[in-house]
Structure 1
Amino acid sequence: MRATLSCSSLRPTLGTSVRSMRSDRWRCALCQDIFRGTTETGDPIRVVLTKGVAGVGKTVLTQKFSLDWAEGRANQDVQLLFHFTFRDLNVLRKKRFSLVELIHHCFKESKKLFSFQCLQLLFIFDGLDECRFRLDFSRSQVLTEPTESASVEELLVNLIRGSLLPSARLWITTRPAAANQIPAQCVSMVTEVRGFTDPQKEQYFRKRFRDEATAVISHIKSSRSLYIMCSIPVFCWIISTVLQNVLKQTEKPELPKTLTEMYVHFLVVQAKVKNEKYHSRSLADLHWTPETREMVLSLGKLAFEQLLKGNLIFYERDLRKCGLDAAEIAHSGVFTEVFRDEQGLYEDKVYCFIHLTVQEFLAALHFHQTFYSSGVNLLSPPHSSESHDPEAFYCSAVDQALQSPNGHLDLFLRFLLGLSLPTSQRLLPSQMIHTESDSTNWKTIDYITEKLAEDSVSEERSLNLMHCLNELNYRSPMETIQEKMRGGRLCRTYMTPICWSALSFNLLSSNSDLEEFDLRKYWASERGLKKLLLVIKTSTKAILSGCRLSPGCCSLLASVLSSPSLTHLDLSNNDLQDSGVELLCEGLKSTPCRLETLSLSGCMVSETGGAFLASALSSAHSPMKELDLSYNHPGASAELLMALQAPLGPLQTLRLDPAGARWMTPGLMKYSCDFSLDPNTAHRRLLLSGHKRTVTRVEELQPFPHHEDRFTDHCQVLSSTGLWGRCYWEVEWSRSKGWVDVAVSYNGIKRRGDTEESGFGDNDQSWCLRIEETQQSVSHNKQVEVVSEIDKNSHRVGVFLDSEAGALSFYHVSSDECLFHLYTYFTSFTEPVFPGFGLWDDGSSVSVVKVKTGGRKRPLEDCPIFNLPKRS
């Protein structure tokens, strides 16, 4: 599978995808293929919306497409291609044209053409995020004739919704924040331009650096923020420019570690180049001349004012307002002039920074410098009585950035906080150096951690606050959570709000895609769902089975279903009930939903919930291929769902059995099972009683006959029957001095010899919860982990087996019959397993308890219980 360009690839995402491009995961495609195939309703691809962050290569992609077409290499079914940019169309926003006149005005060669209805046309509109006029799809007049005059925005609206030239194809590119300007129903397919992959990043730096390539790559990888940004090709150029300059200076250079330090260095490099190239000064001369310093300050003012307005492109009038000379700033290195020689179309020359991040950095520099030179906080209302001390200044900037609905101040805030450190400012001219004390920085850090604890802060903004802590060189939360993840103790550790944010940050910034995210491995609870919702949204397959989710959680999950990534969702063994399914179906009905596999097994879904699902999946755009409704009671709605099976419906797999009223019991009680112990496996010092449901260790040898299945050295016993599927059982234990083992085992466990091969938990055949005098631990294949201390008020343990899902869970059952999760093993069970018990002191006993099927409370939070180890 080929990438579109060496620096980017195109992948199907939101909206209705093309059948030839469908797969479980994003599939790269050549840009020339985006109009091939049909939508899932059988219609041709007419409007394609391509998203991508600034600098990722969207414009280059459209230019390559146009060049391939012009040179006859691709898309020769297109007879005419018109390539517009919103930068160009902005200067025409106050004029009126017919579509024919607009084409003639912009493309002089087309003036001999007056009718386009019989031709296959392709319109490319590049840079929707730079559009300075509003596309009003609700109020624009309807146009059907290419000769009707209207404003430019009305012409575009009618082209996009298909009133004008309905057979024409349109390709629109945009940054993600502006994509919602186009209604989803007007778009046939939405694609995304991805930046460099990890191998492409390395390839790029190995070309730019030869001898130092390995060291450079290692340094970049040491900073997650820098490494993530390197997916953007232009950022790789910026970072290479900086590092090449730094490596030339000394034998042991100090490389910039943060994003802010990198951009300060970049500014210095551009100042040096400007002085050498345009003012005949050597690189050894002072690079911060008064002229250069004033230009940077003026550029910062322009960057800040236009950033607040959301403008990425500027005109000469914008430059003049900030005291900038167009000819002079063209030599700055950070500014690019966009112009053509054609007359009549371009009233003004158009300008922009080489990348949005440069604009955000200069805006932060201007904001920072203005406060320290005049005491004015440019983000505060005029005549504000706000405190002018630095602590309040940085904290108010944090508040302003958090109030942004689309995060347009996120990078600005990161740069601003980074500029407060001496390491970031040491290369700036002395007039611009205003460093803060450690106490101010620590108070900023404390304020950010307080904000991370607030429920009102979205996951996206929390993630940026973690980047801000990185810029302040405060990496303790990330290092702490990484240590906990390496130790495998995360889901039994007290989690502060900042730990949650650090966990989300670590997962989202990992080098590999989140192909499968299993919430049970981190924190199987509603709280875990809420805190890691963004991670779930980013993953391809989300496993939320047995996470004790309530019906109300489904409103959150419904919002996740609009994710272009998520194709598989496992919600089995959660008491979602019909009310939760109803909420979930709102997300299933949405056009962007790409979910192909949904498991609601054991979720207490009745006939009402089944009808909700049948209605949601009957919509024409539903991508659902597999639905699991086993262990529910769908009643008559099962027939409605069966009608949706292939070949008449979208469902290729539908699981309804087992079904019935017994599965409407809350919690794990619905899976309760009963078994007795097998006397042929019992060690001769074990006494079975109570219909073979109780085992006690005694001093006297029992008169059991010889049997090849009997444990001869370990005082252990197995059940008489193996278990498969979903099974829940509880046992009560008592011990005198030694310990008690509650285990499950394959039948193939060794029975003879006092070796590791026959002891529960000491081999790959068995899994064990060991109950000792002061603590409980789990073990499998000699890997032991302490999970909690002993609760002296209750001696009951619950065990849940879901062999098909590959999960084995141990619970403590409290005196008021609440379940506390202790530990879950995830493995692939290959055959039935047998419950087993081990007793290591005379007088100890274990009894299989008759489980009550009603009145049991749902499990509580997934955390350590009783007298916990000290919180970290």
Structure 2
Amino acid sequence: MDHCENREEDVPDGFWKPGQTDRSLVYSGSAAEEQLEPSCVSFKSCWSSDRYIDFKQRRTTSERDDPRTLSAKRFYGRSADPEPSQASQASHRSSDRYIHFKKQKRVKLEKHETSWIPSQWKCLQENPKPSKEKRDCISESSSQQSSEVSSCQSTQQHQTELDSIFVELEEKFGTFVKNELQTIKMVLSADVAECAGSGKVGDERMCENKDQRSNREALVNITVRFLREIGQDKLADRLQKKTLAAVCQREVKSRLKQKFEYVFEGIAKAGNPALLNQIYTELYITEGGTGAVSDEHEVRQIETASRKAARPETTIRQEDIFKLPPGRHEPIRTVMTKGVAGIGKKLLTQKVVLDWAEDKANQNIHFMLPFTFRELNLLKEKTFSLVELVHHFFTETKEIWSFEEFQVVFILIGLDECRLPLDFHNTQILTDPGKSTSVDVVLINLIKGNLLPSARLWITTRPAAANQIPPACVGMVTEVRGFTDPQKEEYFRKRFRDEEQASRIISLIKSSRSLHIMYQIPVFCWITATVLEDMLKTRQQEVVPNTLTEMYIHFLVVQIKVKKVKYDGGAETDPPWSPESRKMIESLGKLAFDQLEKGNLIFYESDLTECGIDVRAASVHSGVFTQIFKEERGLYQDKVFFFVHLSVQEFLAALHVHLTFSKSGVNLLEEQQTTSQESKTRKSESAEILFYQSAVDKALQSPNGHRDLFLRFLLGLSLQTNQTLLRGLLTQTGSSSQTNQKTIQYIKEKISENQSTEKSINLFHCLNELNDVSLVEEIKQSLSSGSLSAESLSPAQWSALVFILLSSDQDLDVFDLKKYSNSEEAFLKLLPVVKASNKAILSGCNLAEKSCEALSLVLGSHFCNLTELDLSNNDVEDSGVKQLCLGLNDGLKNAHCELETLRLSGCQITDEGCGSLVLALDENLTRLKKLDLSYNHLGEGRRASLTSRRDDPNWSLEILEVEPAGQRWLTPGLRKYSHQLTIDADTVSRKLKLSHNNQMVAHGEELQTYTDHPDRFDVKPQLLCKTGLTGRCYWEVEWKGRVDVSVSYGGVNRKRESLGCMFGQNDHSWSLRCSDSSFSVWHNNKKEPIISSVSHRVAVYVDCPAGILSFYKVSSDSLIHLHTFNTTFTETLYPGFMLKPASSVCLH
């Protein structure tokens, strides 16, 4: 369509209008003065577009000439002459004339060359005094437009003023041209990419405003013509290339800004758009790892990631995605960003692109080109070259046929949605960006670096699809973890502008412990916000749904209500369900289940047709339920359908299975689906029990947990309370209480069957969906009361303990196995907790080779969080070290492995085991900073070898401990640290009697006649031993009656009658109180009971430098841990005892 069509009324006074055959301009009054002054109109309007300036030809171009045949084609394989600039193309009024410039400095216009000049200017040029004919001409024109000037006489009267104006104009024009030519000269001195990277034609002023930019572009075009006129075609090409790149970049940025500055949160095409910059909440992005695939259910992955201890990680700001991270010297070509569905990957890419388009970040990048695999899938049967593919999606770049000189970033969004055959091993090599082939071949060669090796790539994907790209093609892997706790609060405060309401909602969310893991997912935060907003508005209910099923039921009902009010014209008080909405949800449920079974998360029209769903109806569904089921259109309006989040698809799939079983008795989870006559009329209770049990079995059979969330929803839908919320959709009453109890019992039985940690955790989530928390509460009470006895825990209780520890509010910063048990059995039960911990203290827990084998798997895992591992004082021996080294080999190769401290002190390691350890560390560049191999027998050679490696700059080892060392430390257990106690007779209370060469002490019936001494305990029946403790010490005693076995600083008070004088009643002594009924520990007058059977032989172990004090009971020559104090000892420690009447202690 002609740009100037129907625009006649917009012509400013003093400009030719269509219909004026002589095209003369008529002026009136002062308007003539205004209009004679040049303006920017010609750069941005259409009133001179019927003329062209011709810099090379010396002929007049008539109106019959087609301007397109004279316009220059742009560079890269085309004619070097450029087309008219964008400013010229915006109009058409001068398209049939050309102004001709010659090489002379001054150009004289001949008569036949002046047809383009307005008639008023002609009369000035040809005759200073207008002739009668001219006056008649003007008079005739005046009769048509009475408001304008009637003759050239008035124009002559202003000649002097006009001369003055043009003198000033010539000066300004000359200054402008001179300055711009200097700029152009500078541009020609820089490279093409540098110019494009600035986003301007070599100068920041080029973006000051639209008019100035248009003026400068026009001058650049004139300069290109003149350069060709004087034979400088190469310079003309160079200038043209640079300016074209800047123009293309600006147009690409403009389009991307328009596309991404607004978002519809959670929905596709309904609702009010929000500015991305206003609602965007920063995500937690970490760097590190390989492109390793994880096919576990994404909720499992979220739970695993959430257990990472609160320690410094390499985090990345969104604007630094393409920057070289610290410590990396080689440029990174390809970045892969992983993240589960709904975690915010797509919004992250939109924010990064928007910041670039708005000149806020990454301005060193010339072109940032985002592609989605959803759209690329639609080109599966077509052929493109890389350049054509770019032109196809970014038409603004069609004049660029080579991108080698530019810094280009290709953003490939949604690798997990790719349906192209990405065969990296059997695909032809392609190096020509201009050669056409299939889209998958283009992408593979782009990713491998065969095409445009200077380009950078950013690929986003869900974790399960990460392995589609060979690790060798990925330079860095990042992971989007979603929201941290502060980011969750920020999100809800942005969503709810009312501060009071936002605070209430944040408080409600914090109270919902059963769902706290899910709040790391931004989409789940949006779902929650949608639900809570409705609940607070309609019911003033200040309770967050406690289960996942309840939350998603509320979410579904909210959408049905919106449909009822917004589309059906109903009232908010009307029942939400109608036959139409029921049918729509049933259709979506069937689609959700069928496609979930196939593993599809995005659907095209063919997929919907295969599922028996009318495509037109699906479009209606997506229009009404835009917050559940979304429709997007690609470049050519091809439809793509998908659910707003995987969890929504799983919920609707479970709803479909539930509805089908409720209505017909058909169990869709069975491979052979049969329907009994009884089921058609009424579900029997036994059939219902078997239905839920089969669902549990199916979920447990899934190796990667893909049915975990589905099972939780299906079980949750069995509750009558949840079905009440869906009244109108579900006509069946909830399962009987007996059915629910049978299901709960069945789940508990499965928990007792020693399931994997992940499966066990999901079964506990299932119990929560059924509102049964009895097993977890039982263990919590035992933990809080200190009555937990590891020896008496059932398998289900062990699983409950693991579940509690892994889902604890407290970060798993330090896990001390001795708090629960110091046995290998307990270690193996709690291994998932060890894996999730930052620091694992396993010292003195009777671990051996079998435990090291299990630890090897932990260290080699991609999800190991350990930064410190303490295996000291276990009989690991050389065989255990070899097992451990297998895991170290795998773990230290893994960028996720962050083990910095390894303690193997007192583990009976010799030269052989040390050799295995050194070899494992030598083969891998490790971040290990501290290695403790003291109290072993390594040999002089190995110790020297380790010392040399500590001093090797290629090793990060900073602290190495190998002393003390020697044969004596190869004794098993803690007895290698045995310390001979000698009672200090000068400290013994007169109430105590010594015997057996001062190796036995008893509370006497009579006071003893000891001499006075300042160190003697005068009031309390206590004593201290003579020699202070250093290093590691161990001793055993036998006791009778009621005895305190203690360690104390030497300055403990000995003379006053007060509780503060007793061991354990002050802050400088620690005691194990032994009685015939129980044990307890005391420090600073605080008692902690110990749940354990009583033994009359106890042991004490002290590691003074490490601040460790442990008490054990000795049973059948085995040590059973009672309690450990971890502190810092600031003074010398002395063993001590306090004896009540009829009590005794014998030293060993």
Q: Distance in 1 between matches of 2:1103 and 2:1061?
A: 24
Map 1:214-613; keep pairs closer than 5 Å.
214-250=503-539, 256-320=545-609, 321-324=611-614, 325-330=617-622, 331-340=624-633, 342-343=635-636, 348-383=638-673, 389-430=687-728, 432-434=730-732, 435-455=734-754, 457-490=755-788, 494-561=792-859, 562-563=862-863, 565-590=865-890, 591-592=893-894, 593-613=897-917
Count of residues in correspondence between the two structures: 831
Partner of 1:852: none
Decide which moves more: 657-666 or 216-225: 216-225
Partner of 2:1124: 824
Contact 2:545/2:551 (<8 A) preserved? yes
Shift of 1:315: 1.0
Partner of 1:709: 1015
Map 1:57-76; keep pairs closer than 5 Å.
57-76=344-363
Shift of 1:97: 4.9
SS, match of residue 610 in structure 1 = helix
Contact 1:749/1:757 (<8 A) preserved? no
- Note the alpha carbon deviations across 1:775-828, whole angstroms, 9 max, x for none: 33222223234425665xx632111112333332211112x3122222222323
Shift of 1:771: 2.1
Contact 1:39/1:45 (<8 A) preserved? no
Map 1:27-176; keep pairs closer than 5 Å.
27-37=314-324, 42-93=329-380, 97-133=384-420, 135-137=422-424, 146=433, 152-153=439-440, 155-162=442-449, 164-176=451-463
Contact 2:630/2:644 (<8 A) preserved? no
Contact 2:819/2:1123 (<8 A) preserved? no
Shift of 1:533: 3.3
Shift of 1:412: 0.9
Q: Distance in 2 between matches of 1:156 and 1:454?
A: 48
Contact 1:462/1:501 (<8 A) preserved? yes
Provide TM-score, normalisation by structure 1: 0.88
Return the letter of the residue paired with 1:582.
K
Mark the CA change 1:633 to 1:100 in structure 2 (over 3 Å): closer, same or farther: farther
Q: Distance in 2 between matches of 1:242 and 1:840?
A: 65
Q: Distance in 2 between matches of 1:531 and 1:178?
A: 32
- Note the alpha carbon deviations across 1:124-167, whole angstroms, 9 max, x for none: 22222323356455555665665676654555455445555554
Mark the CA change 1:84 to 1:832 in structure 2 (over 3 Å): closer, same or farther: farther
Return the letter of the residue paired with 2:752.
A
Return the letter of the residue paired with 1:449.
K
Q: Distance in 2 between matches of 1:258 and 1:583?
A: 43
SS, match of residue 416 in structure 2 = helix
Return the letter of the residue paired with 2:465.
A
Shift of 1:202: 3.4
Partner of 1:861: none
Return the letter of the residue paired with 1:775.
S
Which structure ranks higher in relative contact order (CA pairs < 8 Å, sequence separation ≥ 6)? 1
Q: Which has the higher helix share?
A: 2
Q: Distance in 2 between matches of 1:523 and 1:140?
A: 57
Return the letter of the residue paired with 2:944.
E
Mark the CA change 1:383 to 1:287 in structure 2 (over 3 Å): closer, same or farther: closer
Contact 1:335/1:351 (<8 A) preserved? no
Shift of 1:57: 1.2
Partner of 2:1033: 727
SS, match of residue 389 in structure 1 = helix
Contact 2:285/2:482 (<8 A) preserved? no
1:840 correspondence with 2:1132: no
Partner of 2:928: 624
Which residue of 781, 786, 798 corresponds with 2:1099? Answer: 798
Shift of 1:699: 3.3
Q: Distance in 2 between matches of 1:30 and 1:252?
A: 38
Partner of 1:6: 281
Shift of 1:730: 1.0
1:694 correspondence with 2:1000: yes
Gapped runs of 5+ residues in structure 2? 1-277, 293-309, 677-683
Return the letter of the residue paired with 1:506.
I
Decide which moves more: 203-212 or 749-758: 203-212
Return the letter of the residue paired with 1:839.
L
- Note the alpha carbon deviations across 1:339-374, whole angstroms, 9 max, x for none: 34633xx7x311111122111110110111112222
Give structure 1 regions of 4+ aligned residues with deviation exceeding 6 angstroms.
384-388
Q: Distance in 2 between matches of 1:203 and 1:490?
A: 40
Partner of 1:863: none
Shift of 1:833: 1.6
Contact 1:100/1:147 (<8 A) preserved? yes
SS, match of residue 757 in structure 1 = helix
Partner of 1:769: 1072
- Cα RMSD over matched residues? 3.1
Contact 1:644/1:650 (<8 A) preserved? no
Q: Distance in 1 between matches of 2:911 and 2:1046?
A: 38
Same amino acid, percent of matched pairs: 52
Q: Distance in 1 between matches of 2:826 and 2:365?
A: 51
- Note the alpha carbon deviations across 1:39-76, whole angstroms, 9 max, x for none: 75743333322222222211111111122223332223
Q: Distance in 1 between matches of 2:1120 and 2:354?
A: 64
Q: Distance in 2 between matches of 1:134 and 1:547?
A: 52
Partner of 1:862: none
Q: Distance in 1 between matches of 2:431 and 2:1011?
A: 94
1:653 correspondence with 2:953: no
Mark the CA change 1:202 to 1:665 in structure 2 (over 3 Å): closer, same or farther: same
Q: Distance in 2 between matches of 1:784 and 1:488?
A: 12
Return the letter of the residue paired with 2:413.
D
Shift of 1:454: 1.8
Q: Distance in 2 between matches of 1:579 and 1:182?
A: 39
Return the letter of the residue paired with 2:700.
L
Shift of 1:107: 3.5
Q: Distance in 2 between matches of 1:337 and 1:567?
A: 43
Shift of 1:749: 1.5
Contact 1:643/1:649 (<8 A) preserved? no
Partner of 1:757: 1060
Which residue of 620, 626, 639 corresponds with 2:944? Answer: 639
Contact 1:608/1:637 (<8 A) preserved? no
- Note the alpha carbon deviations across 1:660-701, whole angstroms, 9 max, x for none: 222222221222222211111111233334443322333344
Contact 2:874/2:907 (<8 A) preserved? yes
Return the letter of the residue paired with 1:352.
F
Return the letter of the residue paired with 1:576.
V
Return the letter of the residue paired with 1:640.
S
Q: Distance in 2 between matches of 1:306 and 1:514?
A: 38
Contact 1:13/1:26 (<8 A) preserved? no
Gapped runs of 5+ residues in structure 1? 18-22, 850-872
